[in-house]
Amino acid sequence: MPAELINGTAIARQVREDVARGVAELVATGGAAPGLATVLIGDDPASEVYVRNKRRACTAAGMIDQHRHLPGDVDQATAAALIDQLAADPAVSGILLQLPTPAHLDVEVLLARIPADKDVDGLTVANAGLLAQGRPGLRPCTPSGVMALLDQHDVPLQGAEAVVVGRSVLVGKPMAHLLLERHATVTTCHSRTRDLAEVCRRADVLVVAAGIPGLIGPEAVKPAATVIDVGIHRSGNGLRGDVDTAAVAEVASRITPVPGGVGPMTIALLLANTLTAARRQQGRADGPINGTTAS
Ligand SMILES: Nc1nc2c(c(=O)[nH]1)N[C@@H](CN(C=O)c1ccc(C(=O)N[C@@H](CCC(=O)O)C(=O)O)cc1)CN2
Ligand SMILES: [Mg+2]
């Protein structure tokens, strides 16, 4: 029987509606509307689309759009000065530096200027370290979105075999930590993993963020596994992921489509992080954000 499709578009809509309610409540109780600063450097067409969608989602949720666009040949000092200015601006609750940035810039140095409490992408060393230690902090949006999809579908994680394909700072590494935090037994694979298909076949939960179109076929999937495809590649007029969706759906029990799976969750969780950041900056935090120490 073909796998159930995990509808990321619908789940993202629910998250965005919850965030919009949270923003309305914050404002109704005398708080300031959260401000999201999206920083786009250059004119990469895909990044322009993602940033436009983030800005629209931000406004639709009742937040203040604080977008900044710098030319692709901007120098490091000017880009750093912009981030410093946003960091000091009390109207800015969250700062997001759209990736990738032009190659001449040192992206790690730019990210390091974002204060941890405004790091709504969860990409600073401080927030990555908090996640690695199982301590509360802002978590990267795409892996948090994957966790929300798994939870919406009641996918059991405690004691489950989880395999993550990919070890990027944006997805693979934080994904492994988030799964560990929920007591999954986690294996991370990468380009030098020997017999990738054999390792992937152990997975009850397989998360693929390798950046290679169609990398995972049915031979790499355990029967009844849950398969999450984080890949996104333009092919002809359409989009495809890292998983051969049609073939894998014959083996898996649940699978995310591309488009309409993980992608929309990235933007929804960005809004959720921005609301969390704004609440904390305004002294409205109700308990720790995102995180428990695993034992
Ligand atoms: N600073 C960041 N940069 C990048 C991130 C990130 O989380 N933070 N992630 C990706 C791109 N990305 C957000 O920036 C992103 C990618 C895809 C989608 C999405 O909604 N995809 C849709 C299809 C959209 C389309 O037609 O192209 C889907 O999968 O259904 C949202 C956000 C790299 N950079
Ligand atoms: Mg560089």
CB-based neighbours (< 5 A) of ligand 2, an ion: 103
> Residues 66, 117, 119, 121: which is the catalytic one?
121
With a cut of 70, say whether residue 175 has pLDDT above it: yes
With a cut of 70, say whether residue 172 has pLDDT above it: yes
Instruction: Return the best residue to mutate from 67, 232, 273 for the ligand 1 pocket (most ligand atoms within 8 A of CB).
Output: 232
Q: Where are the alpha helices (DSSP H) in 61-188?
A: 76-88, 107-112, 125-132, 141-152, 172-181
Nearest CA to ligand 1 atom 11: 50
Question: Taking all residues of the chain, what is their mean pLDDT, rounded to a whole number?
Answer: 96
Mean pLDDT, residues 76-91 taken together: 98
Assign 57 a pLDDT band (cuts: 50, 70, 90). Answer: very high
Assign 293 a pLDDT band (cuts: 50, 70, 90). Answer: very low
> Residues 66, 98, 119, 242: which is the catalytic one?
98
ipTM score here? 0.97
DSSP secondary-structure letter at 216?
A: B
Which pLDDT does position 288 carry in this prediction? 59
**Residue 101: CB within 6 Å of ligand 1?**
no
Ligand 1 atom nearest to CA at 51: 14
Q: What confidence tens digit (pLDDT) does each residue in 30-54 have?
A: 999 999 999 999 999 999 999 999 9
With a cut of 60, say whether residue 157 has pLDDT above it: yes
Per cent of the chain over pLDDT 90 is 95
DSSP secondary-structure letter at 134?
A: T
Closest by CA to 94, choosing from 222, 240, 234, 276, is 276
Ordered by start, the domain boundaries in the chain are 30-116, 141-263
Q: What confidence tens digit (pLDDT) does each residue in 92-108 have?
A: 999 999 999 999 999 99
Q: For 102, how many CA atoms within 13 A lie in the half-sphere containing its CB?
A: 16
Asked, as a colleague might, if the bond just before 100 is cis with ω within 30 of 0, I would say: yes
Is 18 catalytic? The answer is no
234 is in an annotated binding site: no
Q: Where are the beta strands (DSSP E) in the chain?
A: 4-5, 35-41, 64-65, 68-70, 94-97, 161-165, 185-189, 205-208, 226-229, 233-235, 238-240, 254-255
Distance CA 197, CA 216 (A): 8
Mean pLDDT, residues 78-91 taken together: 98
In contact, 70 and 41? CB cutoff 8 Å: yes
Per cent of the chain over pLDDT 70 is 97
Q: How far is the CA of 106 from the centre of ligand 2 (A)?
A: 4
Mean pLDDT, residues 184-197 taken together: 97
Q: How far is the CA of 177 from the centre of ligand 1 (A)?
A: 21
Say which CATH architecture domain 141-263 belongs to.
Answer: 3-Layer(aba) Sandwich (3.40)
**Residue 51: CB within 6 Å of ligand 1?**
no
**Residue 97: CB within 6 Å of ligand 1?**
yes
Sign of CA dihedral 150, 153, 156, 161: negative
Q: What confidence tens digit (pLDDT) does each residue in 220-265 have?
A: 999 999 999 999 999 888 999 999 999 999 999 999 999 999 999 9
In contact, 265 and 238? CB cutoff 8 Å: no
Q: What confidence tens digit (pLDDT) does each residue in 275-285 have?
A: 999 999 999 98
Q: How far is the CA of 237 from the centre of ligand 2 (A)?
A: 30
CATH entry, 30-116, from 3.30.70.120, 3.40.50.12280, 3.30.420.40, 3.40.50.10860: 3.40.50.10860
Which pLDDT does position 235 carry in this prediction? 86
Which pLDDT does position 285 carry in this prediction? 80
The answer to whether domain 30-116 and domain 141-263 are alike in fold is yes
Q: What is the pTM of this model?
A: 0.97
